[in-house]
Amino acid sequence: MRRKQWVLGIICMLVGVIIVMGNPAAAQAAGQSDRNAYRAVFDATYYYNAYPDVAAVCGADEDALFNHFVSFGVYEGRSASAAFNPQAYRQRYTDLQEAFGNDMAAYCRHYVAFGRAEGRNADVDGQAAVQIKVTVSKKAAQTASDTTAQKEEKTETTGQDTDKDEIEETTVTKTNKAKGTAKSAEDQKAETDKVIESEKAGTVETEKSTGEAKSTEDEIASVQESAAPSVQTGDMAVTAVTEEEEAGPNDAQTVIGTYTTYYEANVSRAVNVELAAQRINGIVVAPGGKFSFSNTILDRTTANGYVEGPIFVKGEKSTGIGGGVCQVSSTLYAAMVDAALPATERHPHSLPVDYLPAGLDATIAGNYMDLKFTNTFEQPLLIEASAEGGKLTVTLILQ
């Protein structure tokens, strides 16, 4: 009797295999279901405009853009549309993390079916993930709005007081900051004509201390461009911060990598996240210099300010002093990946983490697991880290 049952079980199993092999559509149903979930939140026009690096490879081909998002973008933290970023949606809601884990398609389904109607926030807080500082040349700051009178007007004066008066009275684009109001173009033109008239009458005194005078046109060109231009980076659209060029090229700073993750701000673990972020913030690594995350944040002890939080121990969830600091090391490592800065030591967690995609995490433990790197750039490398209100951001900047 048992032998018959055993034979019958084998036959049923073989029949099941034959059915699946004979019906590949059924075997692929789950994959197609996931693609449908991604398609429901995907905006090809947004994806094309937001990510020039993807557009350069895929062009305006909607299918190619969608395939990139499904295969890479969703795991890289890219947004599917202006309103929906799957990684941000997952990281923001712990109830969804418990239900869906790493199933990114499930987050898309939930947002479409429930989250949007519930008013859940699925974007990146309306802020750029990266803020790039753009240095604007002084010569480039002169705009087409310069008037003919400004271009023709050239003085030989080098006295500081005279230069200041001429700039304030002849530049039609200058804002009257002392009074908080702008002069009209008509008033400015009248004042310009008055200055020119005064020069012709010989009332403006000039001195040649250097043998070569500056022109008002060159002075106007030194005025910083007031409107910050909008630029885009490979990962997200960002807002540029316009700065006036200073003494030399070494003064300019360039963001080379950044990453943001989210955490619960009202639990004890947040103390460790915010303390570790504070301790790596402002660290500058010289060219060729070495960095150790574990040494920088100090030993995870109560004496150093750390508290008990959840940790992983040999593939099991547990608690320990300093639980949560690995989110900071992992966010730093993700920023290093974004900057193409290799780690000289890095260890993955023994279990998946829920605050960033697989492969971007970096755990530390005692004095035997650490995150380390060497600054391979020719400029000093600044680490900026901020953790507040459940949002953790680490940015790498070349000085």
Indicate whether 209 and 257 sit together in one domain: no
85 and 160 within one domain = no
Q: Give 343's pLDDT tier (boundaries 50, 70, 90).
A: very high
Same domain? For 260 and 377 the reply is yes
Rounded to whole angstroms, the Cα distance separating 291 from 159 reads 50
Nearest to 278 by CA among 311, 325, 312: 325
Co-location of 278 and 336 in the same domain: yes
- The reply to whether 189 and 53 lie within a common domain is no
Please tell me the predicted confidence (pLDDT) of residue 193. 61
The Cα–Cα gap between 383 and 395 comes to: 6
Give yes or no: residues 15 and 106 share one domain.
yes
Residue 60 lies in a domain: yes
The neighbouring-strand residues paired with 176 are: 181
Q: Which single residue is written with the structure tokens 């008002």?
A: 216
Share of the chain above pLDDT 70, in %: 60
Task: With respect to residue 241, please indicate whether it lies within any of the assigned structural domains.
Answer: no
Residue 30 forms part of a structural domain? yes
Copy the structure tokens of residue 253.
């700073």
3-state secondary structure of 243: strand
- Predicted confidence (pLDDT) at residue 173 exceeds the cutoff of 60: no
Q: What pLDDT shows up at residue 316?
A: 74
Q: What is the pLDDT of residue 194?
A: 55
Residue 240 lies in a domain: no
Residue after which a domain boundary falls, among 197, 221, 245: 221
Give the confidence band of 3 by pLDDT, cuts at 50, 70, 90. low
| Residue 149, token pair as written in the block | 């009178």
User: Across the strands, what pairs with 395?
Assistant: 258, 384
Domain of residue 29: give its range.
2-118
- CA dihedral in degrees (53, 335, 74, 111; nearest 10)? -120
The mean predicted confidence, pLDDT, of the chain is 73
Would 172 be classed as within a structural domain?
yes
Among 224, 210, 244, residue whose Cα is nearest residue 167: 224
Which of 30-34, 123-127, 146-150 is predicted with the least confidence, judged by mean pLDDT? 146-150
Q: What is the pLDDT of residue 373?
A: 97
Q: How many domains would you assign to the chain?
A: 3
DSSP for 268-287 reads THHHHHHHHHHHHTT-EE-T
Per-residue pLDDT tens for 354-388? 899 989 999 999 888 999 999 999 999 999 999 99
125 inside domain: no
Which secondary-structure segment (H or E) carries 321?
strand 316-321
For residue 231, tell me if it sits in a domain: no
Q: CB under 8 Å, gap of 24 or more: what pairs does 64-71 form?
A: 66/38, 66/39, 66/42, 69/38, 69/42, 70/34, 70/35, 70/38
